[in-house]
Chain A
Amino acid sequence: MAKEKGTVILAEFGSPAELLKAASKLRDAGYKSFDCHSPFPIHGLNQAMGIGRSKLAFFAGVAAAIGFTIALAMQYWMSTIDYPLIVSGKPFNSYPAYTPVTFALTVLLAAFASFFGMLFLSKLPRFNHPLFESEKFEKFSDDSFFISVESNDPLFNTEKTSALLNEIGGKNLEVLGE
């Protein structure tokens, strides 16, 4: 099904604390391409997995700046340059009146960037993944905790990785996407 994406080894863990512990051991063993699956976000996993904080806020900040600029430029150009229109004797460039629209567009673009940036950074939507072959994996959305190690990791070796996962407390190991 998803052969070109490679193989994934899935191991189950008993609790958030065990997951955290196991993740830090995998990190210390030098693994890079693995992920911890849980029904809710677990704090401390970023450090335990050795990955940094999300860069999403940067996306949103840039989008907000773009929204702000576009809104001001648009209002100035439309009401002062392209078709100046006298309305109740107000100045053409009534810049204080631009505040609400500028605010709205700044916020709107930042919101779009947060939402679509999140999808982009987490590589979603993705409807096909070796993990979806597992019967057990669906419990990640209910009450179970998993670690998956992907075969594109340089240290990946089906037997050795499985042994390591067993050693750090992983149960019900499954090799998927073969």
Chain B
Amino acid sequence: MDQPLIRGNPGFHEVTETISRVVEIKTPRAWYILISFTGLIALLFVAFLIHLFFTGIGIWGNQVPVGWAFDITNFVFWVGIGHAGTLISAVLFLLRQRWRTSINRFAEAMTIFAIISAGIWPAIHVGRPWYLFYVFPLPNQMNIWPDFRSPLLWDFFAVGTYFTCSLLFWYLGMVPDLATFRYRAKTKLKKIIYGALSLGWRGGNRQWRHYEVAYLLLAGISTPLVLSVHSVVSTDFAVSVLPGWHSTIFPPYFVAGAIFSGFAMVMTLAIIARKAFALENYITIDHFDKMCKIILATGLIVSYSYIVEMFMSWYSGNIYERFTFMNRAFGPYAWAFWIMISCNVFVPQIFWFKKARNTIWVLFVASILINIGMWFERFVIIVTSLAHDFLPSSWHYYKPTIFDIGMLVGSFGVFLTLFLLFLRVLPMIAMSEVKAILPQASTHHLDSGGIKFETEKIAG
């Protein structure tokens, strides 16, 4: 590698200072402005939620045959966002991609908050969320058990497990950094909170050796989750008989799309956080370059999936499949289809050029366009297939209401508010991991007398 992973050649102490500073400096005015804005949107979401519970899901535009619309679109969108965080923290860890240490912590945080923003939707779309406990395998008053042959139930288990594992992984990785915060805390309350959260961590090798194995195991456990969770989500559609949904390509297609959109979201957030807290030496242009390549690769898989789907609808000779795809591209929802194609197929192609990969504003605009495109992908899949089903007499043009749009925006408010709070109270970059990849952390580092001792003696 021609460039060091961390620029500016900082010492251990400097790493602690730079990263802790994000939490310790006087709250910047911009943070207050941002959080008042996102907090207001999150409150709006809560208000709409209360209205929804009192009135019912009739406040949304959902009508037979479009029984799923914005609700499930948002769910699939947000779960997909989470996948990049897991990919960075788990898959890149197993592949020993050491550049991930600067971005894994806040990418994991993004995962947690995205799953929170996602999990709300299936819970509220059932109409009577107080009966949600029926999906748990608990004895209920009717003495029946959940139907394990149903993809909707698989979904509950997959997303529940995903959230739990992500949370454990995130927290485990944070324990050594919370110990640093415990000592740096200025007020009594902070000392107690960080002290409790750091569990009395003493950084002894008798702890590190178990910690490292636990980290490796959780990474190993999370790796198949990157593939399985969105595969299971895709079976919600693929297992049904609806043209446009009933397709075997769905699991890999959804997984690639999830990583594609998730990396775009990581990029959007990283660009803002790095600028706001002067972390250019830690989140370098190389990080963005590598993320762009992953976005390009997954974007190509997504584009390929679009082509295969269209080809198969023609090649299958099934008139319903053919109609659904012609209708997607040229029917009443053609506008949504072409937004999806422009944002997901054409926009990532600029990442073939190094100049584009290294220009921050290009990355920022492209990452937002990709997320718009990926939201529309789920909208196109869900709504166009449902709106024109087998019975032409029930065909129907779905129109969202103000509550649909308001709650979609509101879920962004919830996500961004949680993320802004995270930036100010928890270490946004994994300090202990960054220190471990510095050159002087090596026991063979020349300046620390590493060359002098004999390895055989140590190995004993």
Asked if B206 contacts A122 (CB within 8 A), the reply is yes
Contacts of B459 in A (CB 8 A): 44, 47-48
Q: How large is the interface on B (under 10, 10 to 19, 20 to 34, 35 or more residues)?
A: 35 or more
Bits for B137-157, please: 1 = Cβ < 8 Å to A, else 0.
100000111111111011001
Asked if A38 contacts B183 (CB within 8 A), the reply is no
- For the complex, give the distance between the alpha carbons of A125 and B195 in Å: 10
B42: shortest Cβ distance to chain A, in Å?
29
Q: Which of A17, A38, A115, A132 contacts B172 (CB 8 A)?
A: A115
- For the complex, give the distance between the alpha carbons of A169 and B426 in Å: 36
Chain A CB within 8 A of B203 CB: yes
- For the complex, give the distance between the alpha carbons of A41 and B175 in Å: 13
Q: Which of B12, B147, B207 contacts A85 (CB 8 A)?
A: B147
Asked if B218 contacts A115 (CB within 8 A), the reply is yes
B447: shortest Cβ distance to chain A, in Å?
8
Given A14-B448, A100-B157, A115-B168: A56 touches B214 (CB 8 Å cut-off) = yes
Contacts of B436 in A (CB 8 A): 40-41
* Docked complex: B405-460 residues within 8 A CB-CB of A: 431-433, 435-436, 440-445, 447-450, 453, 457-460
Contacts of A107 in B (CB 8 A): 161, 165, 221, 224-225
Asked if A111 contacts B164 (CB within 8 A), the reply is yes
B94: shortest Cβ distance to chain A, in Å?
14
Asked if A122 contacts B210 (CB within 8 A), the reply is yes
Q: Which of B146, B148, B221 contacts A110 (CB 8 A)?
A: B221
Bits for B167-187, please: 1 = Cβ < 8 Å to A, else 0.
011011000100110110000
Asked if B144 contacts A85 (CB within 8 A), the reply is yes
Given A15-B448, A28-B460, A115-B172: A37 touches B165 (CB 8 Å cut-off) = no
Bits for B80-108, please: 1 = Cβ < 8 Å to A, else 0.
00000000000000000000000000000
A141: shortest Cβ distance to chain B, in Å?
4
- For the complex, give the distance between the alpha carbons of A15 and B449 in Å: 8
Asked if A101 contacts B154 (CB within 8 A), the reply is yes
Chain B CB within 8 A of A45 CB: yes
Contacts of B218 in A (CB 8 A): 111, 114-115
Contacts of A142 in B (CB 8 A): 12-13, 16, 180, 183
Chain B CB within 8 A of A46 CB: yes
* Docked complex: A47-70 residues within 8 A CB-CB of B: 47-51, 53-54, 56-57, 60
Chain B CB within 8 A of A161 CB: no
Chain A CB within 8 A of B286 CB: no
* Docked complex: B201-234 residues within 8 A CB-CB of A: 201-214, 217-218, 221, 224-225, 228, 232
Q: Which residue of A lies closest to B453 (CB)?
A: A21
Q: Which residue of B lies closest to A20 (CB)?
A: B443
Bits for B3-29, please: 1 = Cβ < 8 Å to A, else 0.
000000001110010000000000000
Asked if B147 contacts A41 (CB within 8 A), the reply is no
A44: shortest Cβ distance to chain B, in Å?
6
B373: shortest Cβ distance to chain A, in Å?
28
Asked if B211 contacts A24 (CB within 8 A), the reply is no
Query: Which residues of A are at the interface with B, using a C-beta cutoff of 8 A?
Result: 14-18, 20-21, 23-24, 27-28, 35-51, 53-54, 56-57, 60, 74-75, 78-79, 82-83, 85, 87, 90, 94, 97-98, 100-101, 103-105, 107-108, 110-112, 114-115, 117-119, 121-122, 124-129, 131-132, 138, 140-143, 148
Nearest 9 CB-CB pairs, A to B?
A: A15-B448, A143-B12, A118-B214, A100-B154, A35-B204, A125-B199, A40-B436, A78-B145, A17-B450
Complex A-B: 18 CB contacts under 8 Å = A16-B445, A36-B204, A39-B12, A40-B436, A44-B459, A48-B459, A60-B221, A78-B145, A79-B145, A79-B147, A100-B151, A100-B157, A101-B148, A103-B228, A108-B165, A115-B214, A118-B214, A125-B199
